[in-house]
Every structure is written in structure tokens, then in C-alpha cells.
Amino acid sequence: MPFAAAIPFLREWMRSPRSVAAVLPSGQALASLITKDISAVTGPVLELGPGTGVFTQALLARGVRQQDLTLIEYGSDFARLLQRRFPEARVLWMDAALLDRHELYRDAPVGAVVCGLGFLNMPQEKIAAIVKGAFRYLRQDGAFYFFTYGERCSVPDAVLAELDLEATHVGKTFRNVPPAPVYRITRRWPGQG
């Protein structure tokens, strides 16, 4: 991690370790895994909790244009860092649980959502609000990608059922501290159980 990114990470972690939800920023292996299905043809990407921008950098490496990125960050130090690192991206300093209360896009143009938020530290109602808000902006064929440090999907089955979504395990990287599985959430197609 670049030194410039380490300072905001440590400052946010000391201020609110539960909201940062990690002892270290995500690594390159996790960034590569969580973005592996995303490319320039995906279209606009919404990133929730980008932190120091490791997933953002991976998205750019996969061909996503900086101006096609909307970065939602609650930590003020992270938001300032992201604005400096990615000046052509739209950086919004806000709580991702309030996505449904804002008009970020017209219609639903987003092809993917990449989420770096720590769902294991959140109540089910907040997770539901984040996922529901994100799907408001996703195209029908869009996908929501996230990781967890838990043994299973950290979006509760009740939330998936309520929103008519399904989660698929994408893979797991052991080259992250701690190791992290990645999941993709999509809408259920008619006839799926």
C-alpha cells in the first residue's frame, strides 16, 4: 500500500475500527478476484466503501474509465484521498445505507456494484438497505460483488429472499490478510426457486 494511503487508513481505523472493519486494507489478490468479471463493456460501476482505492485501481486496470466510476465513501479522510487519486471519478461522501434516498443516476445504468463494506459488522436492516439501494441503480443483468471474512455469504438469506436475489460464490483468495471469499449477487430470473 502506498504510504499516502496508509495514513488515512490508520486514521480512520483509529477513529472507528468497526466501520473500517479490517485491520489492513484489501490486497491486490482480493482486488483482482472481486473485479475479474468487470471490464470496459460493463459500463458505469458503483463502488461502495472504496477506502484507499485498491478495488478502484483494479477496475481502472480492467478498462473501466475513471469518469464511469461513482465512489461512495463514508470516511472523510478516505473521501479526500479518493478525490486526489481519482479526480475524474465521482466521489460522494455519504452513508451507503442511504442510497435509496438519493438520485445518483437516471434509470438504472450501472453494470456492476463493487462493495468493500464490512457486512459482518452491520445489522441485517443496514445490509438490506445497502443492497436494496444498490440494486435500484443496477441494470437487469447487473451484478453486485462483495467479499467477506466469514465462512459463508454475509448477506443474510432473509435479505436475499426479500429482494428476490441470489448469491453465488465466485472464489476465495488466500493471498489476502485475512483470506477472503468473494460473492456475486444477481436478480433471480423468473422460474428460479
9-51: per-residue pLDDT in tens?
555 545 555 554 444 456 889 999 999 999 999 999 999 999 9
pLDDT at res. 151: 87
- What are the pLDDT digits (tens) for 66-81? 999 999 999 888 899 9
- Of the candidates 90, 101, 94, which has an alpha carbon nearest to the alpha carbon of residue 45? 90
Q: Are 33 and 170 in contact (CB under 8 A)?
A: yes
> How would you classify the pairing of strands 180-187 and 138-147?
antiparallel
pLDDT at res. 170: 97
Angle at alpha carbon of residue 182, lines to 185 and 53, rounded to 5°: 100
Multiple choice CATH, 3-187, 3.40.30.10, 3.40.50.150, 1.10.340.30, 1.20.1300.10:
3.40.50.150
Give the pLDDT band (50/70/90) at residue 7: low
The length of the chain, given as a count of residues? 193
Q: Is 18 exposed, middle or buried (0-12, 13-18, 19+ CB in 10 A)?
A: exposed
Q: What is the dihedral of CA 162, 165, 167, 170, to 10 degrees?
A: -160
pLDDT higher than 70, residue 2: no
| Prediction pTM value | 0.86
pLDDT at res. 23: 47
**How many CA within 13 A on the CB side of residue 21?**
18
Mean pLDDT of 45-64: 96
pLDDT higher than 90, residue 139: yes
pLDDT at res. 16: 56
